[in-house]
């Protein structure tokens, strides 16, 4: 087993950390729990506008529809230190990815990817920002982050992440 490639921590990153990345965090936590994967999960935003706030009420409602409670999450901004703390940093869209690449410190070790790169047939696609749209956009967003969570969990399980014991 290649220990250097094992994943035990993941940070999901979008722009505001109130819609897409908290949903990705919630979907991945649920997926990891179902599979018994022991992975530390967090989310953050590239922007600072919503720091300290809970997820958008529409995101909370969508997660709840799927049995996932994200009400206790609070927005924070991604920092260069996150590139040393997390094994993987997963961006929700290409702009988030580019912003993360630009801030990666020289000693950053995290593997950076786009969430939908982990879904067969959807590499390079964005999870569309639902913030300025209607409630239906949050349903689409959930479907996308849940697919991403399943794909990521498949890869992590194949990499040899330890089941919770």
Rounded Cα distance between 144 and 115, Å, is: 9
Q: Interface with ligand 4NP includes 15 (CB under 6 A)?
A: yes
Gyration radius of the chain over CA positions: 15
* Cβ neighbours for 118, distance < 8 A, ≥ 6 positions apart: 90, 148, 151, 152, 154, 155
Catalytic residue from among 19, 20, 42, 93: 20
14 binds ligand 4NP per the rule CB under 6 A: yes
Percentages of the chain per state (helix, strand, coil), in multiples of 5: 45, 15, 45
Residues 19, 78, 126, 147: which binds ligand 4NP (CB under 6 A)?
19
The least CB distance from residue 120 to ligand 4NP, in Å, is 24
Binding mask 117-136 for ligand 4NP (x = CB under 6 A): ------------x-x-----
Binding footprint of ligand 4NP on the chain (CB under 6 A): 14-20, 49, 129, 131
| Catalytic residue list | 14, 20, 129
């Amino acid at each position: 087993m290649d220990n250097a490639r094992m994943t035990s921590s993941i940070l999901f990153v979008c722009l505001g950390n109130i819609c897409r990345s908290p949903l990705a965090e919630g979907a991945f936590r649920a997926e990891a729990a179902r599979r018994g994967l022991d992975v530390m999960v967090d989310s953050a935003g590239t922007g600072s506008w919503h720091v300290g706030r809970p997820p958008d009420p529409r995101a909370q409602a969508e997660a709840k529809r799927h049995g996932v409670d994200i009400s206790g999450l609070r927005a924070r901004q991604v920092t260069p230190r996150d590139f040393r703390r997390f094994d993987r940093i997963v961006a929700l869209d290409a702009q988030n990815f580019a912003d993360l690449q630009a801030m990666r410190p020289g000693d950053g070790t995290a593997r950076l990817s786009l969430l939908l790169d982990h879904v067969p047939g959807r590499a390079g696609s964005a999870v569309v920002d639902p913030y300025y749209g209607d409630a239906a956009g949050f349903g689409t967003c959930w479907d996308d982050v849940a697919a991403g969570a399943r794909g990521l969990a498949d890869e992590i399980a194949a990499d040899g992440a330890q089941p919770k014991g």
